[in-house]
Structure 1
Amino acid sequence: MILKRLDKHRRYFLSALPLLFSPSVWAAELRKQVFLIVESNTTNTPQIPFNPVFQQCVAYVEKELQLQFEYRRYPWTRLLQNLNEGEGLAFGLSKTKERALTLHFSIPAFGTFIWLVVRSDQVFPFSRIADLQGKTVSMIRGSTYGDEFDKARAELLVIEDDVYSLPSRLKKLLSKRTDVMLFSHHDPDPRKVEAMLNKTMPEIAPDTPMPPGVTFKVLDHYLFVDYIHFAILASEDKGIIEQINKAIRKGQQDGSLPAVNIPKK
């Protein structure tokens, strides 16, 4: 009698094994994907850029596509070079005519504002690019802000190409090595961006006290609205951009991702 019961339980266990190891019970193994993002080349501490929307988009796409991103962090110039050599998928890029010649871009994942940051004792009126003439403008090396800005950069502006390091760029602004810092942020309220920078400075650069009576000031008018995309070398796209587009549309429709809805100036 005992042997019959044991045999019965044995048959039940063996019949259940296919269910235990089926995809419906165990999650499918995640696909690995080389993932390129920009980061300062002055630190050995890998971190995703301080941008909650950036992090939200990356995590959502990774989950929806059942991917496991293998992060590789580079300064802008090297990231673009490696991307065009087919190293992997990148995120954080704006789309230009030149880049579109070799890369496949997703639809915009979100929009970000390019704000102008100055010392509070060096505020000036700004409403158009020409107002920057004669100013030393700090921008991240390899970045671009549209055809109009690129033309002005060649003809009117004094550009200080910087690495992707917020502490370094803010220190240059405080020491008056630059007059204006171009800063990308998703928040449409310049006062909130301003408050964030003034709060963050003592945390990221405790060795650099603010001059007496001086704070960072964000000018009221943003320079440009930059739409952020995923991108991959066109010849390496085996359908991943189409999959990302579907995920972004789904997320923006159900509220998992912020809608790309940029107010007009």
Structure 2
Amino acid sequence: MNRGIEREEAASTPAGVTRRGFCAGAALSPLGASRAWAGAAQDAQPLQIPLALSEAVDPQFVTPLLRLIEQPARIRWTLVPVPFSRLLMMVEQGEAMGFGVSPTEARAARWRFSTQVFRGAVWAIGRRGQAVQARRPEDLRGLTVCSSRQASYGADLDDAARRPVETEYVAGDLAQRLRTFQAGRCDVLLVTSRNASAATMRARLRAAGADAQALVIGERPLVEEGVHFAVAKDSRFVDVMPRLDAAIEARRLRIGQMARE
């Protein structure tokens, strides 16, 4: 789930950034690439790794988080912000490592996941005075839901959307999605957060210009899922995962503090 990490401004992907991230190993065969990565692990210089992440992430949280993990992992990320569907494709094709993905049975068969980085949440926001109480994904049945095409809201919510849930996709940042929601185009607005704290969610809405008196936050998140790094099992980046896991554990306390802030 690209969850808990929505950005306030949409990012764009600079042309050619992906190709630049691959130059270190693009000409190698799979066997040669694997040996090259293993040998580079012994070098003092950090490995340059392309990292696909959703355009919907909040850079004020995610960028410091990724930089925190770089040093102990001896990694230097080349960040490639893309729509979430493109992120999944890049991981599947071995073009990049992915960030903000939650394991599913289908993905686990083909991908290697890092240890959990933090636990994200998805909240249902309603308008005060409306009798809308969404406590679980199934409660969205029959409602019009405002969401972003740039983010994933988790397998449970995707399943709920296939029962009959009408989705109103809204472009732009959270402030723009709030304006669309408050104009009455949908019954519920889905918003992701980096933790399961309602206070954090309220603060995020206020920062986006929401009228706190006009909105109602669910009693608890609709969904909570772990956020991970992911890589295809046949990717040249797979050998980096053990050291990435070790770096996450080494920074576990600070990551937890950042996610709660």
Instruction: Give the TM-score normalised by structure 2.
Output: 0.71
Give the equivalent residue in structure 2 for 1:32: 48
1:258 aligns with 2:249: no
CA distance in 2, matches of 1:51, 1:124: 32
Give the equivalent residue in structure 1 for 2:101: 93
Query: How far 1:144 sits from its partner (Å)?
Result: 4.5
Q: Determine if contact 1:57/1:109 at 8 Å carries over to the other structure.
A: no
Query: How far 1:214 sits from its partner (Å)?
Result: 6.0
Give the equivalent residue in structure 1 for 2:68: 60
CA distance in 2, matches of 1:249, 1:197: 31
Equivalent residue runs for 1:73-84 within 5 Å:
73-84=81-92
Give the equivalent residue in structure 2 for 1:183: 191
Residue identity in the other structure for 2:201: V
Change (3 A) 1:98 1:161: farther
Q: Determine if contact 1:109/1:227 at 8 Å carries over to the other structure.
A: yes
CA distance in 2, matches of 1:95, 1:51: 25
- Structure 2 stretches lacking a partner, 5+ long: 1-42
Change (3 A) 1:123 1:50: farther
Over residues 1-51 of structure 1, what are the superposed CA-to-partner deviations in whole Å (9 max), with x where a residue is unaligned? xxxxxxxxxxxxxxxxxxxxxxxxxx93332111111115xxxxxxx6245
CA distance in 1, matches of 2:139, 2:238: 45
How many percent identity over aligned positions? 22
Which structure has the larger Rg over C-alpha atoms?
Answer: 1
Indicate which of 140, 143, 151 corresponds to 2:152. 143
Q: Determine if contact 1:130/1:156 at 8 Å carries over to the other structure.
A: no
Query: How far 1:130 sits from its partner (Å)?
Result: 3.1
CA distance in 2, matches of 1:143, 1:187: 16
Equivalent position SS for 1:242: helix
Give the equivalent residue in structure 1 for 2:32: none
Q: Determine if contact 2:69/2:248 at 8 Å carries over to the other structure.
A: yes
CA distance in 2, matches of 1:163, 1:95: 26
Equivalent position SS for 2:119: strand
Change (3 A) 1:165 1:103: farther
Residue identity in the other structure for 1:166: L
CA distance in 1, matches of 2:88, 2:119: 20
1:158 aligns with 2:134: no
Change (3 A) 1:28 1:164: farther
Query: How far 1:111 sits from its partner (Å)?
Result: 0.2
Give the equivalent residue in structure 1 for 2:218: 219
Query: How far 1:56 sits from its partner (Å)?
Result: 4.3
Equivalent position SS for 1:198: helix
Residue identity in the other structure for 2:114: S
Q: Determine if contact 1:112/1:225 at 8 Å carries over to the other structure.
A: yes
Query: How far 1:223 sits from its partner (Å)?
Result: 0.4
CA distance in 1, matches of 2:69, 2:186: 37
Over residues 176-211 of structure 1, what are the superposed CA-to-partner deviations in whole Å (9 max), with x where a residue is unaligned? 222212211123321331232123227xxxxxxx6x
CA distance in 2, matches of 1:91, 1:56: 14
Residue identity in the other structure for 2:54: V
Change (3 A) 1:67 1:126: same
Change (3 A) 1:186 1:136: same
Residue identity in the other structure for 1:49: D
Indicate which of 131, 134, 147 corresponds to 1:126. 134
Aligned residues: 215
Give the equivalent residue in structure 2 for 1:242: 242
Over residues 195-238 of structure 1, what are the superposed CA-to-partner deviations in whole Å (9 max), with x where a residue is unaligned? 32123227xxxxxxx6xx96333221210102100011211144
Equivalent position SS for 1:243: helix
Query: How far 1:162 sits from its partner (Å)?
Result: 4.7
Change (3 A) 1:145 1:164: farther
CA RMSD of aligned residues (A): 2.9
Equivalent position SS for 1:187: coil
Give the equivalent residue in structure 2 for 1:21: none
Residue identity in the other structure for 1:113: A
- Structure 1 stretches lacking a partner, 5+ long: 1-26, 41-47, 203-209
